[in-house]
Structure 1
Amino acid sequence: MTTDLSLDAPGPLVPSPLLVVEDEPVMHERLYTILVGLGYEATALSFAGSMLEARHQLSNQPFAMVLVDIGLPDGNGIELIRELHWQDAALPIIVISAWSSDQVILEALQAGAIGYLLKERDDIEISLSIRSSLRGGAPIDPFVAKRILAMMNTIASPPGASLSAKGPALTTREIEILGMVAKGLTNKEISNVLCLSRFTVECHIKNTYKKLAVGSRTEAVFEARIHGLLP
């Protein structure tokens, strides 16, 4: 039995065209299969095997989303992420890489990536993570999230203070809603699941933004994970 991982919305509503910057042919095939399964037409997908090729394609047409590997034959993918984010801060950029060192993870996210996935995951896990990003989520591989949290826990605290005391005080409901945001649910979907009005859900999210000192869903999820409020 085949698992249907396509989006609820019709194919034309997925952000396209999409560029994949990856030099491994096997990974090209994997991502092609995954993306077509999520509703992408073959004509909406472009692949680049190097930073030079990626820059060439980006100069010829705009893209609605970019998937980037870190280790490329002619440079570091983080450099490309930084360039793309500087040109368009709203462009969703997701890392899909085998690299998982602390420095690389932080540099990629600081450069502008909204998510960080590991190639070692199976196709279904990668599919669900990309699906989450297509619906507004910020997919961070659980292993990567733990590494980020571990790094934050090494920061020295003032005498008598604890890490939890420094973090924002979110209510149980706010954390519950933020967890759904992390999974890619829209405000309307969250209101249906929790039997709340959409206005109430939006108020909770706005309050969460204020407490976390952020301005977007991606930043809210990232900050919540750093403070250990989300897995």
Structure 2
Amino acid sequence: MTRILVVDDDPPMCARMQRVAEQVYGAGVCTVVGTLAQARTLLGALAFDLVLLDVNLPDGSGVTLLPWIRQHAPQAEVVIVSSLGDDATVLQAIRAGAVGYLLKNGEDMEMELSLRSMQRGGAPIDPVIARRILLQLNAPEQAGAEAPPAQASAAAATTTAARGDRAELTERELAVLRLVAQGHSNREIAESLHVSINTIETHAKNIFRKLAVHNRSAAVHSAQQQGWLG
């Protein structure tokens, strides 16, 4: 039987990952812990086959656990499951040994299909992240091969101008976006800013509209590219 360790401090998310994992691997396969220290203790004592690991944990970044797992529990494959999906974090996790990276805002069916792909030797990567990687890989070649310099410059100027028109975020929207980038849920952001969750959801919709994106990870990526989260 496949043994799975879920490392996340959000009980609803733990229940969700356990439910999805059991759809793929069967009932009773999951053990749940909420900190890096607890994860190290269990991984040092028991043989797990798969670790579903969050990035933002109470005692540090889940990414820092990856080298430790590679050294002390090399049989365990690690898939990051996080709200944080910026390029730097994804790249750092993969370089440190993660075999996959999924976003929490994906659908249960997407997560289930991603885990099933591992059974066929695949690497579960969230479609949003995969698309962004492909776009980045293709961008330099396409820019050089398809557009003459004058046309490329004009297109870049048009894109920049359009982005500037859309990206007039308020100070409160920027505050919300910074908390999103840190991996906080809408409820956590609402509590931090002392407003209702409906207010945060309204801010999120406005941010998505102004940045012309459709989800949290894309909003964070856009903001990082524009230097707002530095």
Same fold (TM over 0.5): yes
Task: Supply the distance in 1 between the matched residues of 2:90 and 2:136 (Cα, whole angstroms).
Answer: 11
- Cα separation, partners in 2 of 1:56 and 1:88, compared to 1, 3 Å: closer
Task: Supply the distance in 2 between the matched residues of 1:39 and 1:65 (Cα, whole angstroms).
Answer: 11
Question: What is the root-mean-square deviation of aligned Cα atoms in Å?
Answer: 2.2
Q: Which residue of 1 aligns with 2:190?
A: none
Alignment partner of 2:79: what SS? strand
Unaligned runs of 5+ in 1: 1-11, 161-231
Task: Supply the distance in 1 between the matched residues of 2:44 and 2:72 (Cα, whole angstroms).
Answer: 12
Q: Which residue of 2 aligns with 1:64?
A: 49
Kindly indicate whether residue 119 of structure 2 is the aligned counterpart of residue 134 of structure 1.
yes
Task: Supply the distance in 2 between the matched residues of 1:110 and 1:126 (Cα, whole angstroms).
Answer: 22
Q: CA offset at residue 38 of structure 1?
A: 1.6
Q: CA offset at residue 48 of structure 1?
A: 1.1
Q: TM-score, normalised by structure 1?
A: 0.57
Q: CA offset at residue 89 of structure 1?
A: 4.7
Match of 1:33 among 19, 24, 46: 19
Alignment partner of 2:25: what SS? coil
Kindly indicate whether residue 26 of structure 2 is the aligned counterpart of residue 50 of structure 1.
no
- Cα separation, partners in 2 of 1:88 and 1:153, compared to 1, 3 Å: farther
Letter in 2 for 1:76: S
Pairwise mapping of residues 129-208 of structure 1 onto structure 2 (< 5 A)?
Answer: 129-153=114-138
Q: Which residue of 2 aligns with 1:223?
A: none
Kindly indicate whether residue 68 of structure 2 is the aligned counterpart of residue 83 of structure 1.
yes
Task: Supply the distance in 2 between the matched residues of 1:85 and 1:30 (Cα, whole angstroms).
Answer: 26
* Identity fraction in percent: 36
Listed one character per residue, the Cα deviations across residues 173-205 of structure 1 (whole Å, up to 9, x for unaligned) are: xxxxxxxxxxxxxxxxxxxxxxxxxxxxxxxxx
Task: Supply the distance in 2 between the matched residues of 1:155 and 1:90 (Cα, whole angstroms).
Answer: 38
Deviates more, 1:88-97 or 1:73-82: 88-97
Q: Which residue of 2 aligns with 1:20?
A: 6
- Cα separation, partners in 2 of 1:87 and 1:155, compared to 1, 3 Å: farther
Kept in 1: contact 2:43–2:73 (CA 8 A): no
Q: TM-score, normalised by structure 2?
A: 0.57
Q: Which residue of 1 aligns with 2:102?
A: 117
Q: CA offset at residue 88 of structure 1?
A: 4.8
- Cα separation, partners in 2 of 1:86 and 1:147, compared to 1, 3 Å: farther
